[in-house]
Amino acid sequence: MPHTNYHSHCNFCDGTDEPRVYAEAALEQGMIAYGFSSHVPMPFFCAWSMKADKLGDYSELIEKLKLEYKGRLQIYRSLEIDYIPGLIGPQTSFIKEINLDYTIGSVHFVDRFDDGRHWEIDGTAAIFEEGLQKIFAGDIQNAVTRYYDLTRMMLREECPDVIGHIDKIKMQNPDNKYFSEDAQWYKGEVIRTLDVVAQTKAIVEVNTRGLYKKKTTEPYPGKWMLSEILKRNIPVMVNSDSHHPKEITGEFEIAFTLLKETGFKTVKSFVDNKWQDFMFDKNGLILPVNA
């Protein structure tokens, strides 16, 4: 069954292989379209992001691959763009100038330590705990609220085409270590965020990385949040956030099954240079007969 994936990383950032290896793997795994979305160069040291002096090479190589695979695999060029107020976001000038095919906006950093370091909320458990204690005095509600507040700010000020792993902060909350996702304050933050999403044209990705990396038991976002997304008629798509070629379709069947069970009829995919709605089943996209 055909698939698409628009959230992927290669060796220009923290992926394992060069882009051509991913293109070949995408073909082998039944992709009809594949988007490269390396982590955007950051205005401070970040071990997993692309270096600024590599951005031109990245753009040039992906454009070459588009031509090389024409007729076999549609390839698109993007970046996963961090949102940090006053520093970087999907509408930052150098990003707009390189004319990406689409944009993914994500929140990976929430505020700073006293020494100026940016707190990475999806890093190690030790770093998460350090930031929670030193920046938020151990108040998990304030920390999580700030995460969603930043997501809402991104949507209002520099809205991307795709919202990356919208509830990824839950990766630090296995077995409800810090809070219950049934807590009214948490659900309130999610609902407020989805109400803002509904006022935009942004697509919420159903990101399967937490599943195949065994960080979560459901994708980002999970079932109850997806039901709220459906109520608001917010469009969704399935992405794997792959860093290794074998991860390109990682746990897609679980994601598509969950969407079907929740009541979704279509997902978005970027095909023929435009966003389109596709019906689906647990095995992937259902293409029109004349496709």
All structural domains of the chain: 3-286 (3.20.20.140)
Mean of per-residue pLDDT scores for the chain: 97
How far is the C-alpha of 270 from the C-alpha of 74, rounded, in Å?
A: 9
In the 3-class helix/strand/coil scheme, how is the chain assigned residue by residue?
A: CCEEECCECCCCCCCCCCHHHHHHHHHHCCEEEEEEEEECCCCCCCCCCCCHHHHHHHHHHHHHHHHHCCCCCEEEEEEEEECECCCECCCCHHHHHCCCCCCEEECCEEEECCCCCEEECCCCHHHHHHHHHHHHCCCHHHHHHHHHHHHHHHHHHCCCCEECCCCHHHHHCHHHCCCCCCCHHHHHHHHHHHHHHCCCCCEEEEECHHHHCCCCCCCECCHHHHHHHHHCCCCEEEECCECCHHHCCCCHHHHHHHHHHHCCCEEEEEECCEEEEEEEECCEEECCCCC
Q: Is the pTM of this model over 0.85?
A: yes
Give the tens place of pLDDT for each residue, 53-98.
999 999 999 999 999 999 999 999 999 999 999 999 999 999 999 9
Give the tens place of pLDDT for each residue, 19-63.
999 999 999 999 999 999 999 999 999 999 999 999 999 999 999
Give the tens place of pLDDT for each residue, 139-150.
999 999 999 999
Q: Which two structure tokens, joined as six digits, stand for 281?
A: 């089943």
Strands 274-281 and 266-271: antiparallel
